[in-house]
């Protein structure tokens, strides 16, 4: 591929001039500029980014590391971050770890190798090594949930407590007392320490339930390992096998809710007449499920904006690292309804409920 020298020669100017033109500086005489532009076009010149970044000594590059890019939630967040970053004149480089701690370390190193100006880490897994590397590099970074704030490190805490509180209160208000929390772990994680985001959500559930003790709410939890939907389905099966009693279920994430719904359907249970279900993430799917899924929303757009703002204000020295909280909201659809005593179809009686659902729309 043509280099800046080739262009310079063809246009009969110096490389400095070509550089000026290529970077849109205005100190070049129109005639010269045209010559250079013509040469660039003719040779299909494309500046070598490595040389450019090396010479510039800085990058205008943000990095983003997620656990699973195939998860639509992170896809959406990625879009949002990219957009924000671009608006601020930054590129975004993306990496995905498949929930592997090793891959995380590799990804972080690679990002540092690329001399990212700021790094967002939105993974469920985390290792001490990563923290150390990052701390040492002094690269501004922002975590989701798992961060400890320092001079260069910020943390965006998603308000799981708030979201789950809203979900539980909603179910309690509908009359539910026996609430099942369906939790799943990604495959590769079993032997590692439990993923923080998962324990955070679980803790939030437990904490919230405690607040409703006076209403005599009885929590149950099932866990299962595997990809979301499958694990959700099997978890529900397990819950029945273990004779857990519940009239409502909260899934730790929407893909899990998908499996829960499916498992319930398969069992001949109707939703919400027999069992109410609430998801978590408010993915675009929710609206289109059958029934449409009530879910706790994590506002992706705000998340993206927060991430970029946080990073850039740290980069520009406006702020040290800080802890930000992202609010969550319950989006009510049709998958949860009023508890009718007779609707406990799954507790060993007939597969059909006699209860009439209340329409809450």
Positions touching a copy of itself (CB under 8 A) are 1, 44, 46-54, 68-72, 75-76, 78-79, 82, 91, 93-94, 96, 98, 109-110, 112-115, 133, 136-137, 227, 229, 233, 258-259, 261-262, 265, 284-285, 287-290
Residue 331's binding partner out of a copy of itself, DNA, none, with CB under 5 to 8 Å set by partner kind: none
CB 232 within 8 A of CB 255: yes
Of 305, 243, 307, give the one whose Cα is nearest residue 65: 307
As measured in angstroms, the least distance from the Cβ of 113 to DNA is 8
Closer to DNA at the Cβ: 5 or 284? 5
DSSP 165-206: HHHHHHHHHTT--EEEEEEEE-GGGTTSPPPHHHHHHHHHHH
Of 186, 198, 197, 188, give the one whose Cα is nearest residue 122: 197
CB 169 within 8 A of CB 209: no
Report the C-alpha gap between 250 and 242 in whole angstroms: 17
CB 274 within 8 A of CB 343: yes
Residue 259's binding partner out of a copy of itself, DNA, none, with CB under 5 to 8 Å set by partner kind: a copy of itself
User: In this structure, what token pair is assigned to residue 29?
Assistant: 């005489």
As measured in angstroms, the least distance from the Cβ of 215 to a copy of itself is 32
Backbone angles phi, psi at 185, to 5 degrees: -120, 140
User: In this structure, what token pair is assigned to residue 76?
Assistant: 């959406």
Of 180, 172, 185, 193, give the one whose Cα is nearest residue 128: 193
Select from 51-59, 181-189, 233-241, 267-275 the region that touches DNA (CB under 7 A): 51-59
CB 108 within 8 A of CB 54: no
Residue 361's binding partner out of a copy of itself, DNA, none, with CB under 5 to 8 Å set by partner kind: none
Residue 341's binding partner out of DNA, a copy of itself, none, with CB under 5 to 8 Å set by partner kind: none
As measured in angstroms, the least distance from the Cβ of 110 to DNA is 13
CB 77 within 8 A of CB 300: yes
As measured in angstroms, the least distance from the Cβ of 210 to a copy of itself is 32
Closer to a copy of itself at the Cβ: 69 or 340? 69
Residue 128's binding partner out of a copy of itself, DNA, none, with CB under 5 to 8 Å set by partner kind: none
Closer to a copy of itself at the Cβ: 210 or 290? 290
| Full strand arrangement of the beta sheet holding 61-66 | 91-96, 61-66, 118-122, 141-144, 153-158, 323-326
As measured in angstroms, the least distance from the Cβ of 321 to a copy of itself is 18
**Is the four-CA dihedral 329, 335, 337, 339 of positive or negative sign?**
negative
Span 7-46, contacts to DNA by CB under 7 A: 12-20, 22-23, 27-29, 31-33, 45
The only residue of 38, 41, 48, 138 in contact with DNA, by rule CB under 7 A: 48
Closer to a copy of itself at the Cβ: 290 or 302? 290
As measured in angstroms, the least distance from the Cβ of 52 to DNA is 4
Span 55-84, contacts to DNA by CB under 7 A: 55-57
| Contacts with DNA, residue ranges (CB under 7 A) | 3-5, 12-20, 22-23, 27-29, 31-33, 45, 47-48, 51-52, 54-57
């Amino acid at each position: 591929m043509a280099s800046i020298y080739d262009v310079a020669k063809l246009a009969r100017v110096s490389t400095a001039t070509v550089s000026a033109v290529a970077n849109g500086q205005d100190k070049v005489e129109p005639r010269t500029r045209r010559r250079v532009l013509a040469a660039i076009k003719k040779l299909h010149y494309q500046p070598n980014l490595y040389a450019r970044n090396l010479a510039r000594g800085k990058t205008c590059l943000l990095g983003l590391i997620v656990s699973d890019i195939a998860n639509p939630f992170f896809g959406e967040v990625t879009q949002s971050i990219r957009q924000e970053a671009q608006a601020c004149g930054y590129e975004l480089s993306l990496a995905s770890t498949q929930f592997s701690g090793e891959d995380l370390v590799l990804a972080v190193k690679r990002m540092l190798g690329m001399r990212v100006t700021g790094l967002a880490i939105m993974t469920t897994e985390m290792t001490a090594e990563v923290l150390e590397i990052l701390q040492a590099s002094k690269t501004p970074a922002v975590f989701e949930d798992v961060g400890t704030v320092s001079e260069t490190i910020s943390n965006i805490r998603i308000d799981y407590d708030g979201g789950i509180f809203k979900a539980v209160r909603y179910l309690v208000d509908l009359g539910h007392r026996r609430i099942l929390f369906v939790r799943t772990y990604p495959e590769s994680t079993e032997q590692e320490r439990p993923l923080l985001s998962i324990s955070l959500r679980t803790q939030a559930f437990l904490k919230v339930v405690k607040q409703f003790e006076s209403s005599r709410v009885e929590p149950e939890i099932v866990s299962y390992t595997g990809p979301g939907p499958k694990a959700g389905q099997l978890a529900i099966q397990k819950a029945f096998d273990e004779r857990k009693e519940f009239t409502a279920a909260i899934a730790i994430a929407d893909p899990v809710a998908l499996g829960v719904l499916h498992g319930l359907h398969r069992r001949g249970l109707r939703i919400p007449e027999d069992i109410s279900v609430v998801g978590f993430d408010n993915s675009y799917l929710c609206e289109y499920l059958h029934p449409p899924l009530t879910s706790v929303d994590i506002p992706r757009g705000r998340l993206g904006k927060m991430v970029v703002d946080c990073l850039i204000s740290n980069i520009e020295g406006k702020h040290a690292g800080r802890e930000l909280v992202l609010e969550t909201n319950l989006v009510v659809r049709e998958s949860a309804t009023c508890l009718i005593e007779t609707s406990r179809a799954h507790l060993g009686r007939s597969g059909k409920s006699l209860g009439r659902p209340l329409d809450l729309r």
